[in-house]
Amino acid sequence: MELVLERETPRVQEHDEAPSAQALAGNETVGEVEKDRRIARSKRALKDAYISLLLERGIGGFTVNDLCTRADLNRGTFYNHFADMDELLVSLENDVIEDLRHFQEPMRNIGIAGLLRHKLTGEPFPFLVDLFDYLREQSDFFIALLGSGGDTRFSAHLRDTVCTDLVLGVLHKDYRDAPTAFVNYYVAFYASAYLGVILQWYLTGMKESSDEMARIAMRLFLIQPGDPIEL
Amino acid sequence: MELVLERETPRVQEHDEAPSAQALAGNETVGEVEKDRRIARSKRALKDAYISLLLERGIGGFTVNDLCTRADLNRGTFYNHFADMDELLVSLENDVIEDLRHFQEPMRNIGIAGLLRHKLTGEPFPFLVDLFDYLREQSDFFIALLGSGGDTRFSAHLRDTVCTDLVLGVLHKDYRDAPTAFVNYYVAFYASAYLGVILQWYLTGMKESSDEMARIAMRLFLIQPGDPIEL
DNA sequence: TGGAAAATCAACACAGTGTTCAATAACTTT
DNA sequence: AAAGTTATTGAACACTGTGTTGATTTTCCA
């Protein structure tokens, strides 16, 4: 049998090409810019208020009225832009997913070359460090949605996009093109695993630096049961 | 009903002694038996109605009124036993968690010996097969709670009990007693990973048999990137 | 069989939703 | 800068669902 890992793939993404968490945190990440400033302002105010309340009281812990009071907007304005609270939440989730999409390219281009380079230098993939930077920056939002009382749709969406892409990035082309049932389980396995690692990081107070987390993540992928566990 | 499996010697659980999914599916798995039959009947009717509606319309897809109509009970009776719908849901979740607790003993007793036996015979742990039997039997309920639109509390609870126990079962004693930060990430990694495998099984229609799934699960634990993928 | 407790039924106040409409304010375009 | 367009505001509306209460009936237990 053959090796699982991709071979023909180009090179590892350069560090400075990765999107900075700072830049990603901004607004209007998705869709076209509103032509009327009032709309843009109202939507942003509503989204900001939603996040603020989400962190304080969790999903379902506040009403449309609370939201509009916090946003300092009329309730009618809310219904002008969103059908209901859920639509606003989905919109916010999509913003984040869109942010994360910037990491997909470097993920897909890891390949076996990247893994080999890591084995030689011991350095984690730079984009992984950036990813954990971003995750730390948006930690409140992620914790609110991934933790208890969160939104399972978001977990699923995350797993289906980011985590799965991460795993596919190091999968051999043959398996990617014609995945057997077992390969799909393999992908699901590692995709969920990484979501679990991120959650563990969040729930223990993000004590590790982004660099440490990137190393841990890489270590976990390369480890095998029976290997000595240490760090 | 006493289904708990106890074993002094930490060897692999025998197949025929494992709790049948059938038996586990019953009621009154948690807490003491109600002394008044009316209470027991009402609670059961409400729980059954809840599950039935949960599968049809998902969490939040029905009202207390719908529930009582389905259960053929007065609305006041519902409030006699549960503060609100969420309390009923939690109660149901705990029933399932309680069921799964029966698998904890064989999990904890796998040890290195069990792993070696598997390496020799190629057979999956019998209790794993039973576990997938149970998961299939309760699939509707699990899918409703684990899938999109489900309940993140349940996912977290499952991961913290069952999956984590599974991983701890094969962890070396030293690591179990004094876990470093990395060991905790290791455990979180594999615990989430198995939840992901189960979810993948559910979402693809449970085409694999329990035996096949047990083998896949074991294979995934022993595999290492670079190994050939086949089944 | 008698006492206790649960189930029923109707009614209640209440909070939150989503919509409508006229008036006002802010923006874009020319 | 004015005109025309469009979003925002505020108030009112019907409606649904929640959680509670009290009187009455039914069921259970001992």
Confidence at residue A42, expressed as pLDDT on a 0 to 100 scale: 98
* Tens digit of each residue's pLDDT (9 = 90 or more) over B122-137: 899 999 999 999 999 9
Q: Is the pLDDT of residue A165 over 60?
A: yes
Whether CB of A44 is under 7 Å from strand C: the answer is no
CA distance linking residue B112 with residue B28, whole number of Å: 36
Confidence at residue A59, expressed as pLDDT on a 0 to 100 scale: 94
Which positions on strand D lie below 7 Å from a protein C-beta? Answer: 6-12, 16-22, 27-30
Query: Does the distance separating the beta carbons of A153 and B152 come in below 8 Å?
Result: no
* Tens digit of each residue's pLDDT (9 = 90 or more) over B23-78: 444 444 445 688 899 999 999 999 999 999 999 999 999 999 999 999 999 999 99
> Å from B46 (CA) to C3 (C1')?
28
Residue A187 and residue A179 in contact, taking contact as beta carbons nearer than 8 Å: yes
Confidence at residue B31, expressed as pLDDT on a 0 to 100 scale: 56
Strand ranges for chain B from DSSP E: none
**pLDDT over 90 percentage in chain A:** 57
Token reading at B103: 């698998």
CA distance linking residue B58 with residue B41, whole number of Å: 24
Confidence at residue B221, expressed as pLDDT on a 0 to 100 scale: 81
Q: Which among A149, A184, A196 is the nearest to B191, CB-wise?
A: A196
Residue from A118, A224, A219, A125 nearest B182 by CA: A219
CA distance linking residue A136 with residue A132, whole number of Å: 6
pLDDT band at B21 (very low <50, low <70, confident <90, very high): very low
Which residues contact residue A112 at a Cβ distance below 8 angstroms, ignoring those fewer than 6 apart? Answer: A3, A5, A6, A7, A9, A170
CA distance linking residue A217 with residue A221, whole number of Å: 7
Output DSSP code: residue A225: B
> Å from A226 (CA) to D12 (C1')?
71
Query: Does the distance separating the beta carbons of B149 and A153 come in below 8 Å?
Result: yes
CA distance linking residue B96 with residue B94, whole number of Å: 5
Query: Does the distance separating the beta carbons of A219 and B182 come in below 8 Å?
Result: yes
Confidence at residue B22, expressed as pLDDT on a 0 to 100 scale: 41
Confidence at residue B228, expressed as pLDDT on a 0 to 100 scale: 57
Residue A231 and residue A216 in contact, taking contact as beta carbons nearer than 8 Å: yes
Confidence at residue A161, expressed as pLDDT on a 0 to 100 scale: 83
DSSP bridge pairs for A225: A227
CA distance linking residue B219 with residue B224, whole number of Å: 10
Residue from A195, A214, A206, A160 nearest B159 by CA: A195
Closest chain A residue to B194, measured at CA: A189
**Arithmetic mean of pLDDT, B140-166:** 90
Min Cα distance A37 → chain B (Å) is 34
* Tens digit of each residue's pLDDT (9 = 90 or more) over B73-110: 999 999 999 999 999 999 999 999 999 989 988 888 88
Token reading at A145: 């949605």
Average pLDDT, chain A: 83
Residue B14, number of CB atoms within 10 A of its CB: 12
Better pLDDT: A25 or A218: A218
- The alpha carbon dihedral of B85, B91, B92, B97 has a sign of positive
- The alpha carbon dihedral of A149, A154, A160, A163 has a sign of negative
- The alpha carbon dihedral of B169, B173, B178, B183 has a sign of negative
